[in-house]
A and B are shown apart, each in its own frame.
Chain A
């Protein structure tokens, strides 16, 4: 899958065995301080790539417009593929922060690899939430990502009106 794009509401295609970065992005973010989420994916089709047993996850630039430190933790739930638990937050170091970040951008990126052919979803876990500087959760809509891995024969219908 060369290049990158916005796949909200669409299906992204991967070749079997391909590795790709999946970016977790925000649009119209308002005064955000952190995100708590879990990415749920079919472990027979996808796996998070590990490096020395640790998921390859990198923080994006959204939470760090001012140079303050971020804190990112990412771990497979119970060390098994299928659910990636992520916590990402701005911190009060080196200077205390009382404001969050507003705008669009990338929260974090995850390195995935396709290991099986089929269709599936990378979904946000039901307890996913965005946090404001005071620690309270703020309302958010989480959009899952539909994907297709490998070659799939697609059988479908069409409709001919008044033919």
Chain B
């Protein structure tokens, strides 16, 4: 099978400068260009967290769109890619993947407002710095600074904070 091209249209999307789209909807509509081979049997959509692509109940048959409704936690980056398969069961290479990140309404402000005072400013950076290195249960831990909700304020939260808030 020839490689196929994939485009993702995300409902209520907010475009970013990078190739990761952030959206506040919990519904993502994936579409792609149809293949022209006569023995085309269908498509498979793979998706998962970060770069992990898994095909679990994702057979899309001959439709050229696929809708994902998924209540992923905020800030997790989801990747998706499509393959085509023919009547003999041959499967194409993956398409170019697309990435998106779910954010609930006002999540960005809420997330960046680490100290919870309703505004996003330098004091939030100070609050983040104060929580850095703390595990859940320790006095310095802040749920608001634990962007990936893994129970520790670490370098991954720092990268997120630097990228989106500072």
Contact A85 B152, beta carbon cutoff 8 Å: yes
Complexed CA–CA distance, A89 and B162 (Å): 8
CB contacts under 8 Å to A, within B125-166, are: 129, 132-135, 138, 140, 150, 152-160, 162-163, 166
Is A26 an interface residue, CB under 8 A from the partner? no
Complexed CA–CA distance, A73 and B157 (Å): 11
Complexed CA–CA distance, A152 and B157 (Å): 41
B16 to chain A, nearest CB (A): 9
Complexed CA–CA distance, A89 and B166 (Å): 12
Q: How many residues of B contact A (CB 8 A)?
A: 28
Complexed CA–CA distance, A89 and B154 (Å): 12
Interface string of B90-119 (1 = CB under 8 A from A): 000000000100000000000000000000
CB contacts under 8 Å to B, within A56-113, are: 71, 73-79, 85-89, 91, 96, 98
Complexed CA–CA distance, A37 and B157 (Å): 11
Q: Knowing A34-B162, A36-B155, A87-B158, say if A73 contacts B132 (CB, 8 Å).
A: yes
Contact A76 B133, beta carbon cutoff 8 Å: yes
Among B20, B140, B159, B166, which residue has its beta carbon within 8 angstroms of that of A87? B159
Q: Could you say which residues of chain A place their CB within 8 Å of the CB of B77?
A: 135-136
Complexed CA–CA distance, A73 and B130 (Å): 10
Is B87 an interface residue, CB under 8 A from the partner? no
Contact A77 B135, beta carbon cutoff 8 Å: yes
The residue of chain A having its C-beta at the shortest distance from the C-beta of B101 within the complex is: A135
Is A127 an interface residue, CB under 8 A from the partner? yes
Complexed CA–CA distance, A87 and B152 (Å): 12
Is B50 an interface residue, CB under 8 A from the partner? yes
The residue of chain A having its C-beta at the shortest distance from the C-beta of B51 within the complex is: A136
Q: Could you say which residues of chain A place their CB within 8 Å of the CB of B51?
A: 136-137
Is A129 an interface residue, CB under 8 A from the partner? yes
B60 to chain A, nearest CB (A): 25
Q: Could you say which residues of chain A place their CB within 8 Å of the CB of B150?
A: 127
Is B33 an interface residue, CB under 8 A from the partner? no
Q: Which of B155, B156, B166 gathers most chain A CB within 10 Å?
A: B155
Q: Could you say which residues of chain A place their CB within 8 Å of the CB of B166?
A: 71, 91
B66 to chain A, nearest CB (A): 23
Q: Could you say which residues of chain B place their CB within 8 Å of the CB of A91?
A: 162, 166
Contact B156 A75, beta carbon cutoff 8 Å: no
Interface of A with B (CB < 8 Å)? 33-38, 71, 73-79, 85-89, 91, 96, 98, 127, 129, 131, 133-137
* A-B pairs with beta carbons under 8 Å apart, 13 shown: A37-B155, A71-B158, A73-B158, A75-B134, A77-B152, A78-B135, A79-B133, A88-B155, A89-B163, A129-B156, A131-B159, A133-B18, A135-B159
